[in-house]
Amino acid sequence: MRFWCSQLFEPWSWTPRPYVGVWLLMALAWYDRHRALRRVSAVLPRDAVITTRQRWWFWLGLFAFWVASDWPVGTLGAGYLASVHMMQYMIYTLVAAPLLLMSLPAWRFDELVAKLHAERPMRFLARPLPAAILANVILIATHAPLSVDALRATQVGSFVLDIIWLVGGWLLWVPVLGPSSDYQMRSLPGRMIYLFFAAQLFAMVPGGFLTFAGAPLYSTYELAPRLGLSPLDDQQLAGAIMKVGSLPVIWSVIIVLWVRWSNQEQAQQQREIAERRRNVAG
Amino acid sequence: MTTDASTTAPPPDADADAVDRAAPPRPPVVSIAVSAVLVLLIGLGVAWLRGRDDPSAIDELGSELPVPIDAPALTLFDTDGAPIALPDLFDDHVTLVYLGYLNCPDACPITMDVLSRALATRTAETRQPVQVVFVTTDPARDAPDEIRAYLDRFDASFIGLTAASDAELAALQDALLVPGAVLEPADEDGNYLVGHATSVFVFDDGVAHQRYPFGTRQSDWERIIQEHADALGDAAR
């Protein structure tokens, strides 16, 4: 039994291999949330504590975290296939992180930020430019061959890498989905532009390096027992995932934001027309 | 009594709030950039520290043999059953010799794969004098035609050899200064692993000066093959 998935240096086996740390962390997340909800339920009306939708987001986010961290995805990504390593990054950053963020009621988000004494850094990091820079610094730093090869070799390193991805995902999504209006971008078109640049455009560059490199860049995956894909094909697939894997999520969110913006504009226009009519009638 | 916000007394920290609103802090882009560099440096540092103790690190690659090894004066059999005298085979070539076995789950297929990919990136001129020789350490299980089929998966030019006896295999391993292959206990299905040396020996025109450990990467092999092929060409001229 191992604490966290990392490079195994042994042939791949389809025998399930659960990781204790993943389950413990999930249990801890659930327990901490459960305690906070119980505490607040005593003083707030039920609807103000948490919505049904937020409950769903929490369980879906936790499920995405589990899929990305535990066997087989976690194990394959940690020591066998760069393409699965990239899928893990995508699941943490583009699925688990936004779902868990959306699962937080505003009071809980503010409480967590206050508990961490992170109001000032959070206010700064939730701005689009710092958030975009940080998300992409994390993207590049955690996909640099030296970082991957060093961190994936140990359980602690692999754990650190996964958590950096999750936290990086939160920071990426706060300006768009932040539960507290203090930390959210007000302009809907601004959010769309931010998402496109922060999560879509810059990822093309490192993705291109992986796709067009003439030799495997990661020794972790180059010297791992083979699983059908050659190391170079696997790396090219990883590059392709980095470049286009985010498309469905990012563009779905952009479309939702666009529809919301369009509805807002229409409502605004209708209000203005009604106002003019009242003035004319008056 | 009015409760209008404009008429209520300001809280004690209102001035500070007003200052904050008037002059929002400039985004410390420099701090972010410095943090990014720090993250990268820490990553590089950890990798360097790991690499220093790792026997497969680049500094350890191509560890010089304590003494040059001449092509062992042994005759092995290729996958067609033809006898091959090693000194003749190694003559005028850069020969990469690897000892392994077909049921090997990790080091052997990875090494063969890495070598074949490195060779594939070289020009025909560079490849021409280079040959890869795979000697089985499990002759009881590895039939010549199976060795041929196995090597063809990587590169049809790879040469598969089998020693005529355990004594011949032991003599080859002794000559290469590596411990003899060890058969591990078999499982209930009769399958077993073979512990064996995983270095690749590079013979230049019949003499080996270096061996490269498992973990040598494709990019390293591209350079090594090029250097040895160039040196052989220079010597011939």
Residues A127, B44: C-beta atoms closer than 8 Å = no
User: Which pLDDT does position B57 carry in this prediction?
Assistant: 46
User: Which pLDDT does position A281 carry in this prediction?
Assistant: 84
Q: Specify if A15 maps to a domain.
A: no
DSSP A229: B
Q: Which helix (H) or strand (E) holds B171?
A: helix B166-175
User: Which pLDDT does position A69 carry in this prediction?
Assistant: 97
**Domain tally, chain A:** 1
Q: Given B27, B113, B219, which is nearest A129 (Cβ)?
A: B27
Give tens-digit pLDDT for A134-159: 899 889 889 999 899 999 999 999 99
Confidence of residue A201 (pLDDT cuts 50, 70, 90): confident
Give the range with max mean pLDDT: A220-229, A273-282, B15-24, B151-160: B151-160
Could you tell me which residue, A228 or A6, shows the higher pLDDT?
A: A6
The mean-pLDDT minimum among A108-117, B172-181, B199-208 falls in: A108-117
Give tens-digit pLDDT for A257-274: 999 999 999 999 999 999
Average pLDDT over residues A230-234: 94
Q: How far apart are the first and last CA of chain B?
A: 107
The C-alpha of A256 sits at a distance from chain B's nearest C-alpha, in angstroms, of: 29
Q: Find, among A4, A58, A70, A2, the residue nearest to A30 by Cα.
A: A58
Instruction: Provide CB contacts within 8 A for B30, sequence distance 6+.
Output: none
Q: Specify if A12 maps to a domain.
A: no
Confidence of residue B206 (pLDDT cuts 50, 70, 90): very high
User: Which pLDDT does position A125 carry in this prediction?
Assistant: 87
pLDDT at A21 over 90: yes
H-helix segments, chain A: 20-41, 46-49, 52-69, 73-79, 82-90, 97-102, 106-115, 119-125, 128-141, 145-152, 155-177, 188-195, 204-212, 219-222, 231-244, 247-281
Contacts A133 to B, Cβ<8 Å:
29, 32-33, 36
User: Which pLDDT does position B16 carry in this prediction?
Assistant: 45
pLDDT at A127 over 60: yes
Q: Do B99 and B237 contact (CB within 8 A), yes or no?
A: no
User: Which pLDDT does position B4 carry in this prediction?
Assistant: 37
B192-221 residues touching A, CB cutoff 8 A: 214-215, 217-219
B117 touches chain A (CB under 8 A): yes
Q: Which helix (H) or strand (E) holds B150?
A: helix B144-152
pLDDT at A115 over 90: no
Q: Measuring CA to CA, how many Å separate A203 from each of A68, A243, A244?
A: 20, 6, 9
CA distance B33 to B17: 28
Q: Do A132 and A191 contact (CB within 8 A), yes or no?
A: no
CA distance A279 to B111: 83
User: Which pLDDT does position B219 carry in this prediction?
Assistant: 93
Contacts B44 to A, Cβ<8 Å:
146-147
Query: In the block, which residue shows the tokens 């959010």?
Result: A191
pLDDT at A68 over 60: yes
Q: Do B77 and B161 contact (CB within 8 A), yes or no?
A: yes
Residues A127, B29: C-beta atoms closer than 8 Å = no
Instruction: Provide CB contacts within 8 A for B7, sequence distance 6+.
Output: none
Q: Specify if A238 maps to a domain.
A: yes
Q: Measuring CA to CA, how many Å separate A101 from each of A47, A126, A138, A273, B121?
A: 18, 13, 18, 38, 47
The C-alpha of B48 sits at a distance from chain A's nearest C-alpha, in angstroms, of: 8
pTM for this structure?
A: 0.84
CATH label, B63-236, candidates 3.40.30.10, 3.40.50.2000, 3.30.300.30, 3.30.420.10: 3.40.30.10
Could you tell me which residue, A53 or B24, shows the higher pLDDT?
A: A53
Q: Given B40, B110, B117, which is nearest A141 (Cβ)?
A: B40
Q: Find, among A96, A94, A183, the residue nearest to A135 by Cα.
A: A94
Structural domain harbouring A217? 20-281
Domain extents in chain B:
27-60, 63-236
Give tens-digit pLDDT for B220-233: 999 999 999 999 99
What value of ipTM does the predicted structure carry? 0.81
Residue of A nearest to B26 (CA): A124
Average pLDDT over residues A249-261: 95
Contacts B113 to A, Cβ<8 Å:
226, 230-231
Q: Specify if A5 maps to a domain.
A: no
Residues B47, A134: C-beta atoms closer than 8 Å = no
pLDDT at A203 over 90: no
Residue of B nearest to A134 (CA): B32
Residues A225, B106: C-beta atoms closer than 8 Å = yes
The C-alpha of B40 sits at a distance from chain A's nearest C-alpha, in angstroms, of: 6
For A201, phi then psi, to 5°, come to -70, -50
Q: Measuring CA to CA, how many Å separate B139 from each of A2, A171, B142?
A: 37, 58, 5
For B99, phi then psi, to 5°, come to -105, 125
Q: Do A43 and A111 contact (CB within 8 A), yes or no?
A: no
Q: Which helix (H) or strand (E) holds B29?
A: helix B29-53
CA distance B100 to B200: 10
Query: In the block, which residue shows the tokens 């420099």?
Result: B30
Q: Do A90 and A245 contact (CB within 8 A), yes or no?
A: yes
Q: Find, among B219, B179, B177, B220, the residue nearest to B201 by Cα.
A: B177
Radius of gyration of chain A (CA): 21
The mean-pLDDT minimum among A196-210, B52-66, B149-163 falls in: B52-66
Confidence of residue A237 (pLDDT cuts 50, 70, 90): very high
Write the DSSP assignment of A151-194 as a string of letters.
HHTSHHHHHHHHHHHHHHHHHHHHHHH-SSGGGS-S-HHHHHHH
Give tens-digit pLDDT for B44-65: 666 656 554 454 444 456 688 9
CA distance B108 to A4: 28
Q: Which helix (H) or strand (E) holds B118?
A: helix B107-120
Indicate the SS3 state at residue B40.
helix
The mean-pLDDT minimum among A162-176, B31-45, B220-234 falls in: B31-45
Q: Specify if A142 maps to a domain.
A: yes
Residue B135 C-alpha from the chain's centroid: 18
Cα dihedral sign, A10-A12-A15-A16: positive
Query: In the block, which residue shows the tokens 């659930």?
Result: A30
Residues B36, A10: C-beta atoms closer than 8 Å = no
Q: At what angle do helices A155-177 and A145-152 cross, to 10 degrees?
A: 120
Q: Specify if A245 maps to a domain.
A: yes
pLDDT at B17 over 60: no
CA distance B97 to B83: 17
Indicate the SS3 state at residue B184.
coil
Q: What does DSSP say about strands B130-136 and B94-100: parallel, antiparallel, or unpaired? A: parallel
Mean pLDDT value across chain A: 93
Mean pLDDT value across chain B: 84
